[in-house]
Amino acid sequence: MVSSMEHPCLRCGACCAHFRVAFHWSEADASLGGCVPPELTEKLDPHRLAMRGTDTAQPRCVALQGTVGVAAHCGIYARRPSVCREVQPSWESGTISLQCDKARLAHGLPVLTPRDWFQPFDADTPPLPQIA
Ligand code: SF4
Ligand code: SF4
């Protein structure tokens, strides 16, 4: 088995540095069961928050650790917003992901192909991202 560090997301992070990451405010309200750290968010409108750093012309989530395209991971993986959980890397489940492809291309990275998943990785280590 190859190293968990070979999971494509752990060499990427592009989607955490490309999209505005917006979600309902309740996801950062612990009294309502929310888990996103509120100090890492900012108000977007009466209904939504955004991860700090993502509502800009050149987004980069404040929780993103590392260097895009080299080694990157989410610093709040277990507490990341729902939109982050929904983004799938291309071909992990057998189909392309337009968000993944768009983010990678924007950062000058090639889109993932089925070959990137040819070897198994350590499923005990969570992959990265996931935005909206
Ligand atoms: S989902 Fe795609 S763009 Fe996001 S970190 Fe993984 S490989 Fe990169
Ligand atoms: S997965 Fe983590 S680093 Fe990426 S956008 Fe979401 S909160 Fe930020």
Asked if residue 73 has its Cβ within 6 Å of ligand 2, the reply is no
What pLDDT sits at residue 4? 46
**Residue 31 in tokens:** 């009294």
CB 74 within 8 Å of CB 64? yes
Mutate to test the pocket of ligand 2, among 27, 76, 88 (most ligand atoms within 8 A of CB): 76
Burial class (CB within 10 angstroms; exposed 0-12, middle 13-18, buried 19+) of 36: buried
CB 96 within 8 Å of CB 90? yes
Domain boundaries, the chain: 4-117
Q: Are strands 48-51 and 22-24 parallel, antiparallel or unpaired?
A: antiparallel
Asked if residue 100 has its Cβ within 6 Å of ligand 1, the reply is yes
Confidence of residue 1 (pLDDT cuts 50, 70, 90): very low
What pTM does this model have? 0.87
Asked if residue 128 has its Cβ within 6 Å of ligand 1, the reply is yes
Collapse the DSSP code of 115 into the 3-class scheme (helix H, G, I; strand E, B; otherwise coil) and give the result.
helix
Using the mean position of ligand 1's atoms as its centre, give its distance from the Cα of residue 84 in Å.
Answer: 10
Reference 103, options 113, 93, 111, 94; nearest CA is 111
Using the mean position of ligand 2's atoms as its centre, give its distance from the Cα of residue 80 in Å.
Answer: 6
pLDDT per position as a tens digit, 9-67:
999 999 999 999 999 999 999 999 999 999 999 999 999 999 999 999 999 999 999 99
User: Cα dihedral sign for 71, 56, 106, 128?
Assistant: positive
What pLDDT sits at residue 118? 77
Collapse the DSSP code of 100 into the 3-class scheme (helix H, G, I; strand E, B; otherwise coil) and give the result.
helix
pLDDT per position as a tens digit, 98-122:
999 999 999 999 999 999 987 655 5
Confidence of residue 126 (pLDDT cuts 50, 70, 90): low
CB 22 within 8 Å of CB 65? no
What pLDDT sits at residue 23? 98
